[in-house]
Amino acid sequence: MVNAVGRLASKDQVVRRHVGQLDDVPVGYVELLADIKQRIRSAQVRAARAANTELLRLYWSVGYDILTRQEHEGWGAGVVRRLSTDLSREFPGQSGWSRSNLLYMRRVAQVWATEEEFVQHGAGQLPWGHIMVLLDRLKTREDRDWYAARALDEGWKRSVLEHFIKVRLKDQLGAAPTNFATALDSPDSELAQQLVKDPYVFEHLAYLERVDERGVEQALMDRLQDTLTEFGRGMAFVGRQVRFAVTDRKGRTDELVPDLLLYHIPQSRYVVVELKVDDFTPGYLGQLAAYVGVVDAELRDPNRQAPTIGVLLCTGKNEAVVRYTLANMSAALGVADYEGLPADARGAVPPAQELEAVVADELARHRDLYDADAEARQ
């Protein structure tokens, strides 16, 4: 392994860069300056969130008024168009009063019956564009609340929210078959289970030209941010093809080289990822177990870090075979499918027998056409 050592500027250099060429900086000034800057940034974030929440409260109230008048006083759909015209004329600098936006406000009031429900369940603290995605892409209040809370907690951008809805993150989390319940103590096993999902969807593999393990690895590294986003919040990249030299008592040395090594910061846990471009076979888990063992022995600090887990990613699996194999493994392992490879990645070159059959069919078809043409000429 190669350790990366960064060069850190001295405190004096930091002071001179940020507060000028001062020779009489008092003791503790640097710490005070950093603390005040952090407080200012936090206040700015809170102010922005508060302003956004107040705007959304307004939107909910407008939507509620429209909904109530239409349901109880018989107002028709045309009133929304008229209201849009009048509000846009009164507030020409604001873009939120279009007819479509007013209809979104009405839908918000339909989904969240009270203003407090809207705010307390997370949606009322998200940007308006996120809420439009929740309304358009999801059908139930439960799903909308779940994705809203997750987006708020993890700071998802709108595109990330759309991606996770598209790949059904709510259904995938914790769905991968694992042996965590037997290999890890509770509640650590439950925490580890939430780190894996099934399937993983790497959309950036769709244009891969070379479909082999190294090609897939390289594509994942080329779009590392997208890859880590799919692995989940708090996952950091440690290395690719990290090499561990293992020597036994007789002096024999072998190398163990896991494909990807990640680290989950919130759980203080290494995650070993092994990639395969074909379906699951039991032997793959033995290989992954060795990688988990060497990472546990060489890198993990048992006093500060949770046990290492391994995740095998393959293009398909028989779940019954997976579970039988996992039952006999002591290392903490999980198995998941991954998607995103080009549609013709698997089976792109048919077997020789299939090619021969296609050629024979084409020859027969052309022969029939020739015979029919000859008969027509006669």
Q: Is the pLDDT of residue 257 over 70?
A: yes
Q: Is the pLDDT of residue 40 over 50?
A: yes
pTM reported for the whole predicted model: 0.65
Angle between helices 11-19 and 29-72 (to 10 degrees): 60
pLDDT digits (tens, 9 = 90+) for 91-142: 887 788 889 999 999 999 999 998 888 887 778 889 999 999 999 999 999 9
Mean predicted lDDT score pLDDT of the chain? 82
Domain residues of the chain, as ranges?
37-166, 172-339
How sure is the predictor about 181, in pLDDT bands with cuts at 50, 70 and 90? very high
pLDDT digits (tens, 9 = 90+) for 57-94: 889 999 999 898 888 777 777 888 888 888 888 888 77
Place of tokens 């024979």: 360
**Fold of the domain spanning 172-339:** Trna Endonuclease; Chain: A, domain 1 (3.40.1350)
The torsion defined by the Cα of 308, 311, 312 and 318, in degrees rounded to 10, comes to 120
pLDDT digits (tens, 9 = 90+) for 303-360: 999 999 999 999 899 999 999 999 989 999 999 998 887 765 544 444 444 445 555 5
Residue 270 · residue 263 · CB < 8 Å: yes
Residue 149 · residue 122 · CB < 8 Å: yes
pLDDT digits (tens, 9 = 90+) for 141-158: 999 999 999 898 888 889
Q: Class of 37-166 per CATH? A: mainly alpha
